[in-house]
Chain A
Amino acid sequence: MKELKILAILAAFTAVLYWGVETYAHKVFYPPVAPADFTFADLHPEAQTASEVDRERREVLAMIEQGDPAAGRIAVETNCAACHTISADGIEMMSDEQLIAANGLLPPDLSNISSLYDEVFLMAFLKDPAEASFITSHTMHQREALAEAKAKSPEDSERLINDHVRTVDGFNNRVAGFFNKMPGYAWLGDEELANMLAYFRTIAKPINEITPREITMNACARCHSVDYDNMALKADMDALEDYLGVRPPDLSTMILSHGGGYLTTFINDPQKHLLGTAMPRVGLNEAAQDRVVAYLEEVGDPNIEERNRLGIWFVGYFLLLTVLAYLWKKSEFKEIGK
């Protein structure tokens, strides 16, 4: 009985320590953020509720549905093919190397974009890439963050706002160069943009036929390498550093350093975790983004299956040994009356 009491005290102290240095500290370091939003609600600033967002999204999707793919193909050839390949349709005006030399990085191949990226996001992105990617300071989240900071500590808010403006300004200056590479096409008009997206629908493979590696290559590899899977950076690193102000990290161990939960909200909206980060929102839809996270897990933590399979045997073996050791102890202690 006394030994159980001692054990309970040890367990209680250990539990409090663990809670303090792991659970609690982690919460302080990485405050929880809103879950990933795959409706990209901020693209519809007018919409107040989820159902209004949904209505607006359906309007955009209906426009694409009614678009003319043949007209879209012509518009894509005219406006996109100078910088992008569309291998599924044989449109490859330059090699990857030539494109990197011309742009500093490889503009993604457009064959499967309607399977990988949210189409409503793509519509907004084509009109104003910087705005849709959260690269400007006029975003909902940044305004929210500022309002929150103000509410939390009014006396500090001036300093916070100044700090904030400084980061965002410096950041915008850096990023201006980057997004010159992808100009906005709002001038084409909604109808023509819908035609282009209707065309992309006709050539895209269904998501199940695209490997997670291909998705990651399309969405991430123009800024990030994945060394542990021999995925090379599709860019000139020095040129990238000029555009972004930082050298984007290799993704091999991202799943270990940040975890799947963080990556899910971070890729969906990088500004949520790192306000002012140079990483743009790329607008992957939920299915595609899940596959990217799964791919990073496969690359960064390939032993999950083996771990789960072996663990039972090790723990079971020592559990059995514990039972035997207990019986032996009992028999040894019997003759000495302990």
Chain B
Amino acid sequence: MAELKKANSVGEWFDQRLQTTTLTKVLMTEYWIPKRINFLWSFGMVLATLFTVLVITGIFLMMYYKPDTQLAFYSVNYTIMHEVAFGWLIRHMHAVAATLIFLFIYIHMFTGLYYGSFKSGRELIWLSGVLLFVTFCAAGFSGYMLPWGQMSYWAAAVITNLFGEIPIIGPELVIWIRGDYVVGDATLTRFFMLHVFLLPVVIMLILGLHFYALRTPHVNTEEGEDCDFEAEARKYQAGDKKNSKVMPFWPKFMAEDIFVMCVVMTLFFFLVFYGYHFALDPVNAIPADPMVTPQFIYPEWYFLWSYEVLRGFFFSSDLGLIAFGIANVVFFLFPWLDRDPKVLPMHKRPYMKYWFWALMITLVGLTIYGKLPATGPNAWVGLVLSVSFLLLVLVLMPLLSSMERKKREREAA
């Protein structure tokens, strides 16, 4: 170890031992972000903020929650909501953040899709992101079971039952997941463990990978243009800040992020106090009763589109299950289903721009019909939407993108 000089300040003391100055440069002041971006680029930090809110409120809820079928409903609906000082506030924050985080995950994902930030070197950002989405889904599902209301119980019963359709191992798998022949105390306790320990830890690990995966390919821009980050950074550091195409993460990029975060938190707290009903399903205010099936059973809104793909093939549960399986993994394949390596935003792509909006409308349609009873004409609408979804992602995405590539190559030649 080199000889240590006496430190003149606390900052220097830490710098000698942890190289905090270099670390700050690498992570913040000399981490370069392109300027040609819009507020959608701030949604990553918005998601990190909401995840933090979930972790903190979750810790407080855990102080009173009891993962036991006899006690769970009471501990949530009476102890936390009535007896604990501001318990209702903590629970509302947790529920609203859990719902909003899925809205923003979808926006964040489709931003990446729209601007082409999921391919040509950025595959790992996309893949780790989709993995985060899947893990968040598992966290949402396991968390929804914990209050042990009617919808907790029946959604858990219906969804875990799906695994029973898997060939050969299905029936055994369902019992293994539930820890019992039916959804019961063993199921509740293990989902509690998943929700408060395993899944949050996994999310944090993948989050680290997700951030790290950004560093080498760099953040994409609004126009998908190539940019020599090193040259532009030199230009910025030389003082030509106006003409450089990049800016440092801190304080410039974060100035925008913090503004967007404040807007989101204003909306968030407005919903927590005055519009939380969408995040707390009324049916779940009825204690779980295995003897009484609710008239309508539906998953939380963020699962509805894939649930509708499952139900869409109403004449064959096998086909539905296959389609459901595809819907759940197809996002992982997007970097390879897009056959055009050139990074361009959708509005600059002659065919894919229609594809993108068709996909958005199909997903919204699936979500809305996923909640309605699948009877009469609804079943047929569901079938059309499910087939459209599969056609869009499995056939039209590779087809249209390779047509675009050939068109561009023709025009260049």
Q: Output the least CB separation between A278 and chain B (Å).
A: 13
> How distant is the Cα of A250 from the Cα of B241 in the complex, in angstroms?
67
> How distant is the Cα of A10 from the Cα of B304 in the complex, in angstroms?
19
CB contacts (< 8 Å) of B286 on chain A: these are: 249, 253, 257
Flag whether B198 is at the interface (Cβ < 8 A): no
Given contacts A28-B372, A259-B282, A325-B258, contact A318 B269 (CB under 8 A): yes
Report whether B39 and A3 are in contact in the complex, using a CB–CB cutoff of 8 Å: yes
Flag whether A20 is at the interface (Cβ < 8 A): yes
List which A239-266 residues lie within 8 A (CB) of chain B.
249-250, 252-253, 256-259
Report whether A310 and B89 are in contact in the complex, using a CB–CB cutoff of 8 Å: yes
> How distant is the Cα of A329 from the Cα of B78 in the complex, in angstroms?
44
Flag whether A78 is at the interface (Cβ < 8 A): no
Flag whether B330 is at the interface (Cβ < 8 A): no
Report whether A328 and B372 are in contact in the complex, using a CB–CB cutoff of 8 Å: no
Report whether B38 and A3 are in contact in the complex, using a CB–CB cutoff of 8 Å: yes
Q: Which candidate, B176-184, B271-279, B387-395, is the interface stretch facing chain A? A: B271-279
- The listed residue with most B CB atoms (<10 A of its CB), out of A227, A228, A253, A310, is A253
Flag whether B141 is at the interface (Cβ < 8 A): no
Q: Which candidate, A101-109, A192-200, A279-287, A300-308, is the interface stretch facing chain B? A: A300-308
CB contacts (< 8 Å) of B40 on chain A: these are: 6
Report whether B364 and A13 are in contact in the complex, using a CB–CB cutoff of 8 Å: yes
List which A9-31 residues lie within 8 A (CB) of chain B.
10, 13-14, 16-18, 20-22, 24-25, 28-29
Flag whether A66 is at the interface (Cβ < 8 A): no
Interface residues on A, range: 35 or more
List which B242-299 residues lie within 8 A (CB) of chain A.
242-244, 247, 251-252, 255-256, 258-259, 261-263, 265-266, 268-270, 272-274, 278, 280, 282-287, 295-296, 298
Q: What is the 8 Å Cβ interface bit string for chain B, positions 217-247, against chain A (1 contact, 0 not)?
A: 0000000000000000000000001111001
Report whether A335 and B39 are in contact in the complex, using a CB–CB cutoff of 8 Å: no
Report whether B242 and A21 are in contact in the complex, using a CB–CB cutoff of 8 Å: no
Report whether A318 and B367 are in contact in the complex, using a CB–CB cutoff of 8 Å: no
Report whether B88 and A328 are in contact in the complex, using a CB–CB cutoff of 8 Å: no
Among A20, A228, A306, A322, the residue within 8 A (CB) of B263 is A322
> How distant is the Cα of A319 from the Cα of B368 in the complex, in angstroms?
32
Report whether A17 and B258 are in contact in the complex, using a CB–CB cutoff of 8 Å: no
> How distant is the Cα of A28 from the Cα of B44 in the complex, in angstroms?
36
Q: Output the least CB separation between B65 and chain A (Å).
A: 17
- The listed residue with most A CB atoms (<10 A of its CB), out of B103, B243, B244, is B103
Flag whether A333 is at the interface (Cβ < 8 A): yes
Q: Output the least CB separation between A31 and chain B (Å).
A: 12
CB contacts (< 8 Å) of A319 on chain B: these are: 266
> How distant is the Cα of A7 from the Cα of B304 in the complex, in angstroms?
24
Report whether B269 and A338 are in contact in the complex, using a CB–CB cutoff of 8 Å: no
Q: What is the 8 Å Cβ interface bit string for chain B, positions 365-399, against chain A (1 contact, 0 not)?
A: 00110011100000000000000000000000000
List which A171-202 residues lie within 8 A (CB) of chain B.
none
Q: Output the least CB separation between B265 and chain A (Å).
A: 5
CB contacts (< 8 Å) of A303 on chain B: these are: 81, 88
> How distant is the Cα of A337 from the Cα of B241 in the complex, in angstroms?
8
Report whether B273 and A307 are in contact in the complex, using a CB–CB cutoff of 8 Å: yes
Report whether A20 and B364 are in contact in the complex, using a CB–CB cutoff of 8 Å: yes
> How distant is the Cα of A16 from the Cα of B243 in the complex, in angstroms?
41
Among residues of B, the one whose C-beta sits closest to the C-beta of A327 is B259
CB contacts (< 8 Å) of B134 on chain A: these are: none
CB contacts (< 8 Å) of B107 on chain A: these are: 10
Report whether B285 and A315 are in contact in the complex, using a CB–CB cutoff of 8 Å: no
Among B88, B265, B301, B372, the residue within 8 A (CB) of A17 is B301
Q: Output the least CB separation between B224 and chain A (Å).
A: 15
Report whether B274 and A311 are in contact in the complex, using a CB–CB cutoff of 8 Å: yes
Among B35, B273, B360, B368, the residue within 8 A (CB) of A21 is B368
Report whether B241 and A336 are in contact in the complex, using a CB–CB cutoff of 8 Å: yes
Among residues of B, the one whose C-beta sits closest to the C-beta of A29 is B296
CB contacts (< 8 Å) of B251 on chain A: these are: 332
Report whether B82 and A302 are in contact in the complex, using a CB–CB cutoff of 8 Å: yes
Given contacts A319-B266, A332-B251, contact A253 B82 (CB under 8 A): no
CB contacts (< 8 Å) of B77 on chain A: these are: 252-253, 256
Report whether B252 and A336 are in contact in the complex, using a CB–CB cutoff of 8 Å: yes
Report whether A256 and B242 are in contact in the complex, using a CB–CB cutoff of 8 Å: no
CB contacts (< 8 Å) of A335 on chain B: these are: 241-242
> How distant is the Cα of A311 from the Cα of B278 in the complex, in angstroms?
17
CB contacts (< 8 Å) of A228 on chain B: these are: 78, 82
Q: Output the least CB separation between B369 and chain A (Å).
A: 8
Q: Output the least CB separation between B111 and chain A (Å).
A: 9
Q: What is the 8 Å Cβ interface bit string for chain B, positions 69-110, against chain A (1 contact, 0 not)?
A: 000000001100110000011000000000000010001000
CB contacts (< 8 Å) of A302 on chain B: these are: 82
Report whether B262 and A22 are in contact in the complex, using a CB–CB cutoff of 8 Å: no
Report whether B255 and A20 are in contact in the complex, using a CB–CB cutoff of 8 Å: no
Among residues of B, the one whose C-beta sits closest to the C-beta of A253 is B285
> How distant is the Cα of A135 from the Cα of B40 in the complex, in angstroms?
59
> How distant is the Cα of A257 from the Cα of B287 in the complex, in angstroms?
10
List which A312-335 residues lie within 8 A (CB) of chain B.
314-315, 318-319, 321-322, 325-326, 328-329, 332-333, 335
Among B39, B81, B285, B372, the residue within 8 A (CB) of A257 is B285
> How distant is the Cα of A69 from the Cα of B241 in the complex, in angstroms?
95
CB contacts (< 8 Å) of B38 on chain A: these are: 2-3, 6
CB contacts (< 8 Å) of A328 on chain B: these are: 255, 258-259
A-B contact pairs, 14 of them (CB 8 A): A3-B39, A6-B38, A20-B371, A257-B285, A303-B88, A311-B272, A314-B269, A322-B259, A322-B266, A325-B261, A326-B259, A335-B242, A336-B241, A338-B252
The chain B residues found within 8 Å of chain A, CB to CB, are: 35, 38-40, 77-78, 81-82, 88-89, 103, 107, 241-244, 247, 251-252, 255-256, 258-259, 261-263, 265-266, 268-270, 272-274, 278, 280, 282-287, 295-296, 298, 301, 304, 360, 364, 367-368, 371-373
Known: A253-B286, A259-B282, A333-B256. 18 other contacts (CB 8 A): A10-B107, A20-B364, A20-B368, A21-B367, A252-B78, A253-B285, A257-B282, A307-B88, A307-B274, A310-B89, A311-B274, A315-B273, A322-B266, A332-B252, A336-B241, A336-B247, A336-B252, A337-B241
